[in-house]
Amino acid sequence: MLVCWKAWQSGIDLRQYDYQHFTASCIIRRTLTMQFQEFIFDPQLIKRFDVNGPRYTSYPTADRFVEAFNADSYKSWLGRRTVEGACRPLSLYVHLPFCNTICYYCACNKIITKDHGRSAKYIKYLGRELAMQAEALEGGRDVVQLHWGGGTPTFLSNEEMTRLMELIRSHFHLLPNGEYSIEVDPRKVDRETVKLLAELGFNRMSIGVQDFEPAVQKAVNRIQSLDETRLVMDSAREFGFHSISMDLIYGLPKQNVISFNHTLDEVLKLSPDRLSIYNYAHLPGLMKPQRRIQESDLPSPDAKLQILQLAIRRLTEAGYVFIGMDHFAKPEDELAVAQRGGRLHRNFQGYSTHAEADLLAFGVSAIGKVGPTYCQNVRTLDEYYDSLDRGVLPVMRGIELTADDLLRRSIIQALMCQFQIPIESIEIAHLIDFKSYFADELADLREMEQAELLEISDQWITVLPKGRMLARNIAMVFDRYLRSGREKTRYSKVI
């Protein structure tokens, strides 16, 4: 807190600070004196409060980014990343959009192809962007976190993956004890590929599964056997991966409680370190591949809720910790450890650690965070290549956060990650009187307080066990852009 006051007194722009570490010490002390309460799944409350809303992988959300924040804006912030000699470590995200086949449920920015000439060209241009961002970067280039997402990163050949990692290491220093993760499609990976990934430095893996039921897999055009999945997980453990995450989806066509229970049987036998259970949002008007899914095959809202309730019960009975929203982890996993320590963070890959890091993003549609800014790259390959050919960073849009944005971001992060807001710490870090500043928001929270979703005291706003599944709803109360009357229907359902 002293550094915040020192900056304020000397006239430094406080927007250059990320305030999460100011609240972390208070959360740690409180967390150490109490166990995280078990959450309560109350179907009636969920139905009552289930509305459309953001996932808050950022605040402001990406749909609030503006084109006025361009490549020059981003380059400027790369060049003044330090404050009074302080320099945040780096997290890198690389978007690899290529897939061999299309999964009908998928809403990612992807390119369906079997032509590796396209991926070879893309890696060449990624090298250009890596060089341009590194050249513009002020301060150190130490990396504590790296993630390859997609698309399907393992679409790349072994030679292509090796080349891309060489390019990254030529511009940045990956620290020995960092978190280096990759999304894996078990249908395209064998034991030797997993061995190569370990040799390249990856130590965390996210595996897409969605559902093991054959009828569901056929309906979404993703046929993936249990044996293929087991082979990848066994190989990852053999070659020293620290954490294996698995992705499931509820609400898919042909899915029901009985079939998903069988999927959970197999998942628990495989024993991943982390689990994400995402809500399938059927938006065929926006996502063309989803038009191949028959709406009559989708489970009813009640059945969908029952599937989620089943998954939560079985995972918690098996010892997994509810991290938040759709994430679960074993108690010893670093995600759960970070939550207990007040260091949990939420970004464009979901829940994460290393909240203090600046996030540099590379590739089409990738979103990064540097200081008090967010930026997103162009969405198509043609735009991406054209921009880099002109020697311009491929930034499509972004935003420079105001003091109010930073304040509300710290509150929403605290709610989504720790289920509590330390009022005094927020006041000191942001130089406000909480009750006056958020008088309208506190009034709006009273209905949720009466429904026992949360508790408001002089020092804390605490999400209660019944409210943990609805943390997004609580966060939405503090979203200034939603409060100003913007449409909520653009978002998916909260549950």
Is 183 labeled as ligand-binding?
yes
Is 107 labeled as ligand-binding?
yes
- Do the beta carbons of residue 478 and residue 443 sit within 8 Å? no
CA distance 187 to 274: 20
Higher pLDDT, 38 or 20: 38
Residue 213 neighbours by CB distance under 10 Å = 18
How far the first Cα of the chain sits from its last, in Å, is: 37
E strand or H helix at 425, and its extent? Answer: helix 423-430
Pick the CATH number of 62-400 from 3.30.9.10, 3.40.225.10, 3.90.550.10, 3.80.30.20: 3.80.30.20
| Residues in contact with 42: Cβ distance below 8 Å, sequence separation at least 6, in sequence order | 466
Is 93 labeled as ligand-binding?
yes
- Do the beta carbons of residue 455 and residue 467 sit within 8 Å? no
- Do the beta carbons of residue 249 and residue 278 sit within 8 Å? yes
Q: Give the start-to-end residue ranges of the domains of the chain.
A: 2-57+407-483, 62-400
Is 222 labeled as ligand-binding?
yes
What is the pLDDT at residue 88?
A: 85
pLDDT band at residue 494 under the 50/70/90 scheme: low
Positive or negative torsion for Cα 129, 135, 136, 140: positive
As a whole number, mean pLDDT of residues 232-255 equals: 97
Is 150 labeled as ligand-binding?
yes
CA distance 492 to 51: 8
User: Nearest CA to 13 among 354, 368, 371, 357?
Assistant: 371
Q: Are strands 321-324 and 327-329 parallel, antiparallel or unpaired?
A: antiparallel
DSSP designation for 402: P
CA distance 413 to 408: 8
- Is the pLDDT at 491 greater than 80, yes or no? no
pLDDT band at residue 345 under the 50/70/90 scheme: confident
Is 367 labeled as ligand-binding?
yes
CA distance 95 to 349: 11
Find the angle CA(266)-CA(268)-CA(270) to the nearest 5 degrees.
70
Is 151 labeled as ligand-binding?
yes
E strand or H helix at 268, and its extent? Answer: helix 257-270
Q: Each residue of 24-68: pLDDT tens digit?
A: 445 444 543 344 456 788 888 988 988 888 889 899 999 999 999
Q: Each residue of 435-480: pLDDT tens digit?
A: 999 999 999 999 999 999 999 999 999 999 999 999 999 999 999 9
Q: Is 446 exposed, middle or buried (0-12, 13-18, 19+ CB in 10 A)?
A: exposed
CATH topology of domain 2-57+407-483: Arc Repressor Mutant, subunit A (1.10.10)
Lowest mean pLDDT among 7-21, 43-57, 411-425: 7-21
Is 99 labeled as ligand-binding?
yes
Q: Is 92 exposed, middle or buried (0-12, 13-18, 19+ CB in 10 A)?
A: buried
Q: Is 90 exposed, middle or buried (0-12, 13-18, 19+ CB in 10 A)?
A: buried
What totals of helices (H) and strands (E) does the chain contain, helices first?
Answer: 20, 19
Q: Which two tokens stand for residue 99?
A: 């897939």
As a whole number, mean pLDDT of residues 380-403 equals: 97
Is 244 labeled as ligand-binding?
no
User: Nearest CA to 222 among 98, 115, 111, 102?
Assistant: 102
Q: Each residue of 111-125: pLDDT tens digit?
A: 999 999 999 999 999
Is 210 labeled as ligand-binding?
yes
pTM: predicted TM-score of the whole model, two decimal places: 0.90
Find the angle CA(343)-CA(326)-CA(312) to the nearest 5 degrees.
115
CA distance 52 to 454: 20
| Residues in contact with 45: Cβ distance below 8 Å, sequence separation at least 6, in sequence order | 451, 453, 466, 470
- Is the pLDDT at 349 greater than 90, yes or no? no
Is 62 labeled as ligand-binding?
no
What is the pLDDT at residue 493?
A: 65
